[in-house]
Structure formats: C-alpha cells, structure tokens
Amino acid sequence: MKLFIIVPCYNEQECIEDSVSKLLAKYEELRRNGVVDEGSRIVLVNDGSRDATGAICSELYKKDERIACIHFAGNFGHQAAVLAGYHYAADRCDCAISIDADLQQDIDAIDLFIEEYKKGSDIVYGVRNSRKTDGFFKKLTATLFYKIMKIFGSTTIANHADYRLLSSRALKALREYKEVNIFLRGIIPTLGFPSSIVHFDVKERTAGKSKYTLKKMMTLAANGITSFSISPIHYIFYLGLFVLAVSIIVIIVTLIDWIHGVNVSGYTTIVLSIWLLGALQLIAIGIIGEYIGKNYFESKHRPQYLIEKIEDRSVMVTKE
C-alpha cells in the first residue's frame, strides 16, 4: 500500500534531520517487509518557520525522492499544518499517519496503526500510555481539559494528540470541513468511520524544545471547547437563573428586616455582591464574545492556510 507520513514542522532545525533519518529507516523496514510500496512519502509541512527548518526540509527533499515538502507562505499553526498534509495526501495514498517532528511519539507504533488499518479501521487513534514525561502543570491542565470536553459533550479521545492514521476515505471526507477554527481532535471523531485505538509510549525530546507554549495550548483548548459545544452558554444561562433566585431571596429578607425596623448596614453584602456579579458578568461576556468572534472569523471565509510552494518529484506545484 501507499503510505504518507505527515510531519508538521515549526522551528525544528535542531531535530528535523535526525527525525527524518529515523522515519526513512522505518520506511525502509516497512518496504522490505512488503508493507508499503515505492510511492510512499514523508511529507514535511513547513509552517512558516523562522529558523533554517525550511531550507533543511528542501535539502532533505533534494537528497531523497521519498521526501516531499509543503512550504506555507506564513505561520498558520500546528493544526493547519497537519490539515494541509492531510489534504495533500488524500488523493495520493491509501492512508496517512501524522506525527510530531520531534518524534516523541513512538514510531514503532506505526506497525500497529497499519495492522488496525488492515483490519478495517479508517481511523486509528494513537493514545499515550501515560503522561510521566510531562511536567506537573501540563499534566494537570491536560487532564482538566479532557474532563471539561467530556462534560461539554465532545467526542474527543482522552490523551490523544495528533498521532493518528486516516484512510484515504477518511481524508477525503475531512476535506468537506471548511471551518477556519481548526481543532482536529474534535473534528475527526465526527467523521463516523470505523475506528480503533493504539497505545504508545512517549519519549523524551532529544533536541530543541516544544513549540507548544502555554499560550498555544490555551488557544487550542479554547478552540476545542467553543468549536464543538454551546454548553458554556447554557451554563451561563442557568447560572444567571441561580443568581436571580438568590437575589430575590436577599431582597425578600432585606424587606422583612426593614419592615421590622432592623438596622442593616449592608456594606459587606453590597461590596461582595458587586464583586461577585461583576466577575460573573465579565466571564459571561467573555464566553459569549468567544462564540461571536468565531462567527466573525468564519463569516470572512478566509483560507485555512496558504501554500508558497510544494516540492514533490511526482508533482511540481509552486503556488496553491
């Protein structure tokens, strides 16, 4: 079969050559075992890197015909880079596997992905066995994120990042999703094709540092929650009803005290009420604004990404 491995790259000059070398060795192993054919590719997606990553990717392409490169015109984000690789692979392969450029995800799990694909799975999710390589804060926030997504009714797979296999059928179906706010971990489970899970161990990063900063992780989490559920707006409404009920009770108690001539200073109550209600209002406005902002960007119909050039010996495209 023809397999494409999608590798999103952003400022990965320290590790990209070593990672590609390991992936090529895995390809050669699969080819010797008769699993993949000569048309298989490693697709490097350069997400507008500011270091030498783009140049290194081009040099790797020139040295090995099994490598293809997609160069973005700017930085569109990790999710857009993975999506671009999927779009490119959809009509060119039997299945595609996405994996991070640092290869912290165990590449030997690729064999298990392929086994599940041959059994009939159009989607195979890579789920990490543990988060022991994560720091305390990242581990805590990741756990909270998946729990919140579950509460809000999302079908996100816990502890699954973007290490997965998609069949050609699933890749083509994914092209029908046109939203600008991309959250693949939430989109792909909605495709509905037969799926399975493969567990793998996460390794320590051998070079460079993670490009997923706290800000990017928070943005991804916000996209995930607000792109697939309107439950936060429902909860705001219910919270408003609760605050209204409490307010009515406070008003009744205050009137009764006033009728009986009880002196009520009310200073502490008023201050606490102002701070509480002010905080709730700001939170409510922020959440509602998040949804309005998403509608604003979606209504513009801007492209999910822009490609400067594609380097692939099977098809030479300079602009898309």
- Report how far residue 85's alpha carbon sits from residue 304's, in angstroms, rounded to the nearest whole number: 12
Q: Which helix (H) or strand (E) holds 63?
A: helix 53-63
CATH topology of domain 3-209+304-311: Spore Coat Polysaccharide Biosynthesis Protein SpsA; Chain A (3.90.550)
Does the pLDDT of residue 153 top 70, yes or no? no
Mean pLDDT for the chain?
Answer: 82
- Cβ atoms of 159 and 86 within 8 Å: the answer is no
With a pLDDT cut of 90, the percent of the chain lying above it is: 47
Helices and strands: H and E segment counts in the chain: 10, 8
pLDDT band at 225 (very low <50, low <70, confident <90, very high): low
Does the pLDDT of residue 128 top 50, yes or no? yes
Q: Tokens representing 35?
A: 């699993």
Q: Is 166 helix (H, G, I), strand (E, B) or coil?
A: strand
pLDDT band at 317 (very low <50, low <70, confident <90, very high): very low
Q: What is the pLDDT of residues 166-210, one digit of tens each?
A: 999 999 999 999 887 788 888 899 898 999 999 998 876 555 565
> How confident is the model at residue 320, as a pLDDT?
41
First to last CA, the chain: 27
Residue-level length of the chain: 320
Q: Is 181 helix (H, G, I), strand (E, B) or coil?
A: coil
Mean pLDDT throughout 214-225?
61
Mean pLDDT throughout 17-21?
95
Does the pLDDT of residue 54 top 90, yes or no? yes
> How confident is the model at residue 296, as a pLDDT?
66
> How confident is the model at residue 203, as a pLDDT?
75
Q: Tokens representing 122?
A: 């159009």
Mean pLDDT throughout 6-19?
94
> How confident is the model at residue 209, as a pLDDT?
60
Does the pLDDT of residue 131 top 60, yes or no? no
Mean pLDDT throughout 88-111?
94
Most confident of 17-31, 246-260, 285-299: 17-31
Mean pLDDT throughout 230-257?
72
> How confident is the model at residue 226, as a pLDDT?
61
